[in-house]
Structure 1
Amino acid sequence: MNATTPPYGTLAIWLLGQESIVVKGDGILLYFDPFVSDDVRSKLGLQRLYEPPLVPADITNAAVSLITHDHEDHLDAGTMKVICYSSPDSLVIAPKYCASTIRGLGFAPHRVFHAHTEEPLSLLGDRLQVWSIPAMHEQFEVDADGEHRYVGYVIRLNGVTLYHAGDTLVYDGLAARLRSACIDVACLPINGRDYYRASRNIAGNMNYREAAELSWEIGADTVIPLHYDTFDWNTEKPGSFVQYVYEQYPEQKCHLLARGERFLYVSSSAFKNENEPRER
Structure 2
Amino acid sequence: MAKLLYQGHGSYRVVSKDGLVIYVDPYAGVGYDLSADIVLVTHEHADHNDLSLINKKKDCRILRAADMLVHGKYRKLEINGVMIEAVPAYNENHKRDCCVGYIITIDGIKIYASGDTSYTDFMQAKLSQAEIDYALLPIDGIFNMDVKEAEKCAKIINPRHTIPIHTSPVNKPSRLDKSGVSVPFDLKKAESLDVEGRIIMRPADEIELFEK
* Structure with larger Rg: 1
* The one of 170, 181, 203 aligned to 1:231: 170
Shift of 1:89: 2.3
Q: 1:259 to 1:119 in 2, by over 3 A?
A: closer
- Any unmatched runs of 5+ in structure 2? 174-183
Partner of 1:134: 88
Q: 1:75 to 1:137 in 2, by over 3 A?
A: farther
Q: CA offsets per residue over residues 120-171 of structure 1, 9 Å max, x none? A: 11111xx1111101111426636xxxxx310110011101000011001113
What percentage of aligned pairs have identical amino acids?
24
Q: How many Å separate the matches in 2 of 1:19 and 1:242?
A: 17
TM-score with structure 1 length normalisation?
0.64
The 8 Å contact of residues 8 and 185 in structure 2, kept in 1 or not, is answered as no
- Give the alignment's Cα RMSD to 1 decimal: 2.2
Q: Please give the residue correspondences for 1:97-112 in structure 2 after superposition, counting only pairs within 5 Å.
A: none
Larger helix proportion of the pair: 1
Q: How many Å separate the matches in 2 of 1:176 and 1:192?
A: 24
Give the aligned residue type for 1:186.
Answer: A
- Any unmatched runs of 5+ in structure 1? 1-5, 37-51, 97-113, 143-147, 194-203, 269-280
Partner of 2:110: 161
Q: CA offsets per residue over residues 191-249 of structure 1, 9 Å max, x none? A: 012xxxxxxxxxx111112112211221110000111257343867343343341xxx4
Q: Please give the residue correspondences for 1:197-276 in structure 2 after superposition, counting only pairs within 5 Å.
A: 204-228=143-167, 231-233=170-172, 237-245=186-194, 249=195, 252-268=196-212
Partner of 1:16: 7
How many residues are treated as equivalent by the alignment? 198
Q: How many Å separate the matches in 2 of 1:33 and 1:176?
A: 25
Q: How many Å separate the matches in 1 of 2:63 and 2:211?
A: 26
Q: How many Å separate the matches in 1 of 2:4 and 2:51?
A: 23
Q: Which moved more, 1:15-24 or 1:210-219?
A: 210-219
Shift of 1:75: 1.2
TM-score with structure 2 length normalisation?
0.83
* The one of 22, 34, 37 aligned to 2:26: 34
Partner of 2:138: 189
Larger strand proportion of the pair: 2
